Amino acid sequence: MKIIMLGAPGAGKGTQAKMLSEKYDIPHISTGDIFRANIKNNTELGKKAKSYMDAGQLVPDELVVDLVVDRIKAKDCFKGFILDGFPRTIPQAEALDYALNNQNEKIDYAINVDVPDEDIIERMSGRRACVGCGATYHLVYNPTKKEGICDVCGEKLILRDDDKPETVKKRLQVYHEQTQPLIDHYEKKGALLTVDGTQDIKVVFEDITKVLDK
Ligand code: AP5
Ligand code: MG
């Protein structure tokens, strides 16, 4: 099963992708997590990506397309994958379509986690993220067992640099301008599944899996 997660920053893409990855035993590939790991390790890619991310802007397409196209050719993607945060622009979607077409494959579901902008800013201030394994938590809606420590891998949690309210507003603007058009792109392909992302995390998951399990 080949899945992409669509939705505004903070809509819950990462939260649902992690759960889906466990249920269907396919890798969760988050471009944001890949960039954050590169920033943490001070790589060339990390250095290039950081200024864009901190400003709430998209990293240029050329820094992300080859990375993802190569990643989905790896052996562990044989059964499928969940792309979280990619594609984010029409050129990225076209590059992905082209790469999959060449292998006679296609995206099965583009899951659009729908949450209005008003709810996003409040969610982001309570988010805590693990740079070790990419897990995300929320102080109120999805707390860890031990404060500040990841339940999955035991690393310390961080407040992401781009979760400041001003940067979140910029990210929302960039989302509406550059990423929202992808909803139409996947609707035309008959792959779109829109779920109400304002519901409880478990209810959103049920809404997704009841369609995927059909
Ligand atoms: P990325 O890391 O992908 O960030 P994003 O798209 O802005 O999305 P988030 O990770 O912030 O949110 P999410 O939807 O995963 O929500 P989450 O599950 O954490 O990208 C970061 C940056 O990297 C970009 O701005 C860009 O610069 C760059 N980048 C990445 N990919 C790129 C690409 N392809 N091209 C160019 N640039 C790229 O949930 C949010 C919070 O809400 C959590 O605290 C969670 O616990 C909570 N929550 C989740 N679901 C619910 C619920 N149902 N009810 C209540 N709370 C909930
Ligand atoms: Mg995420």
Residue 99 in contact with residue 108, Cβ under 8 Å?
no
Specify the pLDDT at position 51: 95
Which residues contact ligand 1 via a Cβ below 6 A?
7, 9-15, 31-32, 35, 52-53, 57-59, 64, 85-86, 88, 92, 123, 126-127, 136-138, 141-142, 162, 171, 197, 199-201, 204
Give the tens place of pLDDT for each residue, 156-196: 999 988 998 899 999 999 999 999 999 999 999 999 999 99
Residue 110 exposure: Cα atoms within 13 Å on the Cβ side: 25
Non-local CB neighbours of 73 within 8 Å, separated by 6+ positions: none
Q: How far apart are CA 195 and CA 192, in angstroms?
A: 10
Q: Which of 3, 6, 15, 120 to mutate to test the pocket of ligand 1 (most atoms within 8 A of CB)?
A: 15
**Domain positions in the chain:** 2-115+165-212
User: Average pLDDT in the 66-95 region?
Assistant: 96
Max Cα-Cα span within the chain: 47
pTM over 0.85: yes
If you average pLDDT over every residue of the chain, what do you get? 96
Q: Give distance in angstroms: CA of 59 to centre of ligand 2.
A: 15
What confidence category does residue 2 fall into, taking pLDDT thresholds of 50, 70 and 90?
very high
Give the tens place of pLDDT for each residue, 177-186: 999 999 999 9
User: Average pLDDT in the 112-134 region?
Assistant: 92
What confidence category does residue 131 fall into, taking pLDDT thresholds of 50, 70 and 90?
confident
Closest to 113 measured CA to CA, from 71, 85, 94: 85
CATH superfamily of the domain spanning 2-115+165-212: P-loop containing nucleotide triphosphate hydrolases (3.40.50.300)
Q: Give distance in angstroms: CA of 132 to centre of ligand 2.
A: 14
Q: Give distance in angstroms: CA of 105 to centre of ligand 2.
A: 25
Specify the pLDDT at position 65: 96
Q: Which of 31, 139, 144, 168 to mutate to test the pocket of ligand 1 (most atoms within 8 A of CB)?
A: 31
Q: How far apart are CA 207 and CA 18, in angstroms?
A: 15
Q: Residue ranges of the alpha helices (H) in the chain? A: 13-24, 31-40, 44-54, 61-71, 90-101, 117-125, 165-174, 181-188, 201-212
